[in-house]
Structure 1
Amino acid sequence: MAVVPPKDSVIACFQPVIDSFRLAVAGHEVLGRERLESGELKSLGPLFGGCEDGEALRQLDRHIRYQALQQFLAAGQPGYLAINVTPAWMLDFKKDDPIPTIEMVRELGVDPRKIVVEFVESAGENANMQYLIQRYREVGMRIAIDDFGSGQSHIDRLLALEPDIIKLDMDLFQRAARGGLPAKVVLGISDIARRSGSTLLCEGVETEEALQFALDCGARYLQGFFFSQAAPTLASNDLAENCLKDVLPRYLNSKKAHYQSRQKYNDILLAYFQQLQTLLSKSESHSGINHNISPELLPEPPAGFIRFFICADNGNQISPNFEFTPAQGWQSNPENLGCNWASRPYFYSLLAGCDRGPITSTPYHDVDSAVSCVTFGCRLDESRLLFMDKVLWES
């Protein structure tokens, strides 16, 4: 069983949080460290997951918190101070009980608007938690969710806490930075953060590649060894600019080159799409189903083409899917005949005439071809619409 170390061997340390928009230190997270006889600082993180003496651990945690607030005040309260709170320790609070963090802040004269209360466990399933969150907010403190995306309860936590900051689970973020499905999940979480009005914080930024992925996610706040480990003193504000001044130009140039290549790729496929539009607008339709598309009349598509199909104004697909592979040439697949695509945003956007040129859908995963793709769409005539699915440029 883990043993709680004596208070005089434990100190508060601070890991900076970087504001990627302002190129400044946005704040610091408080982390407890035990100072060993060798002078080395040992993380207390494992202790909070493996100590059975809950009361002793709680008192140690409050000791670290008080130390941190004192140092934060002495340093002039730069940015914000994030304090980890374990919801399980709050279950016994009564409505009028004093809340330790609030009492410490009042005693020391710290501006409560500069305090972020960071919940480190699943929360939101009990009324007591809701009441405590209300108490924190009443005095001006902000709320953050830690380890978001790490378990099955994170959506409940989001709904219950309505956080100011969503702190992405470090393990999930680091896996996502390597690409694949985790990357798509994290990009989805970043969209949730934007839509809910929360600021996204990516923790575990240790390499330039991870930093670039965090920027791709639109994360304003960044935290990790790339910038600094936790230290006994607060970071100077020039840390952010020193760490980012060379990285950001490289990132910008990389994204610029990527988008230029993507535009060339899209231009090729768009030109092919317009060629199809000209060819098919001359074709006839019989009873709403287009039978007059002869494969030998269709030009060979460029790389990245998946399929094209025709719909009626009501959303019903009135042609088969026309698909092409170099090995088999053109193939007609009737599987989606009669499917209705009226609920797709690109469909009613096209129908409403919101775009003068061909519309482009948002990216999505195509189940049949197992690739990420987008859809081009345009009118063929007064009653028919043409759509083409193409591979999303990701290289």
Structure 2
Amino acid sequence: MTIAQQERMASAPHGFDVEVTSGLERFSAQHGELTLTSVFQPIFSLSHMRAVGYEGLLRAHDALDRPVSPLDVFGEAARLGDVLQVDRLAQTLHLENFKVLGAEHEWLFLNVHPGALTDPYLAAALLANLRRLDLPPRRIVLEVLEQRADDLERLADAVRQFRERGFLIALDDFGAGHSNVERIWQLNPDIVKLDRIMLSHAAHRADMAAILPGLVALLHEAGKLVLVEGVETEHEAQMALACDADFVQGFFFGRPNPGAADAAHAMTCISEVTDRYRDQAEARERRNASRLTPYLRAFERAAERLAAGEPLEEVCWNFLGLDHAARCFLLDAKGKQAGRNVVLRVDRAAPETRFLPLADAQGANWLRRPYFRAAISAPERVHVTRPYLSINEALPCVTLSVATRVGEQTCVLCGDIDWVEE
């Protein structure tokens, strides 16, 4: 053991051992018959294409050097009423091993039991360890675990105090169990970690995949950075890119390891998946543009005929005759609908429709809709919305719109297209 290693060993908490494997130092500790140590899973910024943090994860082996699941370690601790002590031991191990990891600027993500945050003694012990290791609080992201907190108000107050000291706060496993939107408002985290189960559902269900970008956008609007965890396949990596997540974590990008992430491998991996995402996005845009072309031509012709004085009911038939055209309608300069929707397909006009209360849109005001605002802002030009949920039938829809002069009045002609991704 070198002099430097001896000095680190002397400064480590009582009961800790240090071992050197393949030139890498690692602290371990005994807990009953178990030997505990740390590994670190890198957390990557998709934009920076490098690791910006590491999550400390517990590893345990029994007296015969057989691996023991961390869930079993904490499960047994919970059974014995010892979970906060084991939580503190794991934190201390991760801090010791993070110090020798060689990370100069990255965050350490520490899983913390809610009870450890609200216990003054355990909170003080964490701060004392940071001072001893010369790690500033700004390097630490406290992950509030997905567990029921008996006193959520007390937990929120503790979280606020830790943030005031410079710590960052992450809400773990969002979308699972007790980790929900209410906790975001109560705990006000800096980072929200989307639970793996959400990504898994989105990978197999188109409707769930469509929800992810909106969920991330909502969290961004609330001032939260978003981390997608459990990314194991390229398809899931593509979804993380598509939903505009800030950070990713998972086997696809980097497995838990005692050492630091391979920077060159990480940059290559993220660069390649980003390039493929760009190529796929561009191909999808070309397909959508081709798909829209006949609708745009028919809609532009309808607008010309409307401006020439022909009635709405006569000008829309070519547009409505296309396979997925749903309806046409006309708005005045204030967004109010003049007349009923013009439809062609018999099933849309059937009175038995489940959405019959919404069928009569005469007099409705669509001032808030992006298609109206875009048309009024740039008249005489056809605008195309992003896919959104139509109120008419609760189905994905794209709306074409154009503001034009009809006699002495400015009107906005609109045409809806059913839009199921192909």
TM-score band by shorter chain is 0.7 to 0.9
Query: Which whole-Å CA distance do the structure 2 matches of 1:27 and 1:239 have between them?
Result: 16
Aligned to 1:379: 403
Out of 114, 138, 141, which is 1:116 matched to? 141
**SS of equivalent residue, structure 2 residue 259:** coil
Query: Which whole-Å CA distance do the structure 2 matches of 1:123 and 1:375 have between them?
Result: 46
Query: Which whole-Å CA distance do the structure 1 matches of 2:249 and 2:123 have between them?
Result: 32
> Residue 265 of structure 1 contacts residue 393 of structure 1 at CA under 8 Å; is this kept in 2?
no
Deviates more, 1:37-46 or 1:234-243: 37-46
Aligned to 2:341: 321
> Aligned ranges for residues 75-224 of structure 1 at < 5 Å?
75-78=101-104, 79-93=106-120, 98-121=123-146, 126-151=152-177, 154-224=180-250
Aligned to 1:390: 417
- Cα distance change, pair 98–168 in 1 and its aligned pair in 2 (3 A): closer
- Cα distance change, pair 43–227 in 1 and its aligned pair in 2 (3 A): farther
- CA deviation after TM superposition for structure 1 residue 146, in Å: 0.9
- CA deviation after TM superposition for structure 1 residue 214, in Å: 0.5
Out of 347, 362, 365, which is 1:340 matched to? 365
Give the TM-score taking structure 2 as reference length. Answer: 0.80
Aligned CA RMSD, in angstroms, stands at 3.0
Q: Deviations over 1:202-256 (max 9, x none)?
A: 1111111000001001112111121233233332323412433432322221111
Deviates more, 1:208-217 or 1:159-168: 159-168
Q: Deviations over 1:9-34 (max 9, x none)?
A: 12122111122111111211111121
- CA deviation after TM superposition for structure 1 residue 67, in Å: 1.4
Give the TM-score taking structure 1 as reference length. Answer: 0.85
Aligned to 2:275: 249
**SS of equivalent residue, structure 1 residue 131:** helix
> Residue 38 of structure 2 contacts residue 57 of structure 2 at CA under 8 Å; is this kept in 1?
yes
Query: Which whole-Å CA distance do the structure 1 matches of 2:414 and 2:101 have between them?
Result: 60
- CA deviation after TM superposition for structure 1 residue 184, in Å: 2.7
- CA deviation after TM superposition for structure 1 residue 83, in Å: 0.3
Out of 64, 68, 72, which is 2:98 matched to? 72
- Cα distance change, pair 331–281 in 1 and its aligned pair in 2 (3 A): farther
2:77 is aligned with 1:57: no
Q: Deviations over 1:277-336 (max 9, x none)?
A: 112223456xxxx6xx248964554333221111223332222222234xx599699622
Any stretches of 5+ residues in structure 1 without a counterpart? none
Q: What is the identity percentage for the equivalent residue pairs of Structure 1 and Structure 2?
A: 27
- CA deviation after TM superposition for structure 1 residue 261, in Å: 1.4
Deviates more, 1:168-177 or 1:247-256: 247-256
Any stretches of 5+ residues in structure 2 without a counterpart? 1-29, 352-358
Looking at both structures, which has the greater relative contact order when contacts are Cα pairs under 8 Å and sequence separation is at least 6? Answer: 1
- Cα distance change, pair 375–34 in 1 and its aligned pair in 2 (3 A): same
How many equivalent pairs are there?
A: 381
AA in 1 matched with 2:112: V
Q: Deviations over 1:52-104 (max 9, x none)?
A: 3464222122112111111111123341110011214444549xx85332222
**SS of equivalent residue, structure 1 residue 389:** strand
- Cα distance change, pair 299–134 in 1 and its aligned pair in 2 (3 A): closer
Structure (1/2) with the larger helix percentage: 2
Deviates more, 1:132-141 or 1:228-237: 228-237
AA in 2 matched with 1:173: L
> Residue 335 of structure 2 contacts residue 367 of structure 2 at CA under 8 Å; is this kept in 1?
yes
